Amino acid sequence: MLRFFAKYKFFAIVLFILSAIIISIIYSILKPKRVLRVYEPDMVSLELVDSTVQHVRKYHKIADFSLLNQNGEKITQANYKDKIYVADFFFTTCQTICPIMTDHMKLIQSRLKNDPDVKLLSHTVIPETDGVPQLKEYAIRKGVDDTRWNLVTGDKKHIYDLARKSYLVAKTNGDGGPYDMIHTENFVLVDKKKRIRGFYDGTDLDEIERLLEDIKVLKEEGVK
Helix orientation angle between 97-111 and 132-142, rounded to the nearest 10 degrees: 60
Q: Phi and psi of 117, rounded to 5°?
A: -85, -10
Residues 6+ apart with CB under 8 A from 125: 89, 90, 91, 159, 160, 163, 170, 174, 181, 183
The answer to whether residues 11 and 108 belong to one domain is: no
The answer to whether residues 89 and 119 belong to one domain is: yes
Residue ranges for the binding site? 94, 98, 183
The answer to whether residues 128 and 77 belong to one domain is: yes
The answer to whether residues 20 and 123 belong to one domain is: no
The answer to whether residues 78 and 171 belong to one domain is: yes
Q: Single out the residue of 122, 125, 166 nearest to residue 146, CA to CA.
A: 122
Residue ranges for the binding site for Cu cation? 94, 98, 183
Residues 6+ apart with CB under 8 A from 67: 74, 75, 76, 123, 152, 153, 154, 158, 159
Give the CATH number of the domain where residue 86 resides. 3.40.30.10
Q: How many domains does the chain have?
A: 2
Per-residue pLDDT of the chain in tens (224 residues, 90 and over written 9): 545 445 555 555 655 566 656 655 554 455 567 899 999 999 999 999 999 999 999 999 999 999 999 999 999 999 999 999 999 999 999 999 999 999 999 999 999 999 999 999 999 999 999 999 999 999 999 999 999 999 999 999 999 999 999 999 988 877 766 556 667 899 999 999 999 999 999 999 999 999 999 999 999 987 44
How far apart (Å, rounded) are the C-alpha atoms in residues 188 and 194? 11
pLDDT of residue 224: 45
Looking at the domain assignment, is residue 192 inside a domain?
Answer: yes
- The whole domain housing 16 covers 1-31
* CA distance readout (Å), 99 to 71, 93, 105, 114, 118: 21, 9, 10, 24, 22
pLDDT of residue 30: 52
SS3 132: helix
The answer to whether residues 19 and 64 belong to one domain is: no
Measured over the CA atoms of residue 78, residue 79, residue 84 and residue 87, the dihedral's sign is negative
Looking at the domain assignment, is residue 36 inside a domain?
Answer: no
Q: Single out the residue of 185, 203, 200, 196 nearest to residue 218, CA to CA.
A: 196
* CA distance readout (Å), 223 to 204, 212, 219, 220: 27, 16, 7, 8
pTM (two decimals): 0.84
The answer to whether residues 52 and 162 belong to one domain is: yes
pLDDT of residue 184: 86
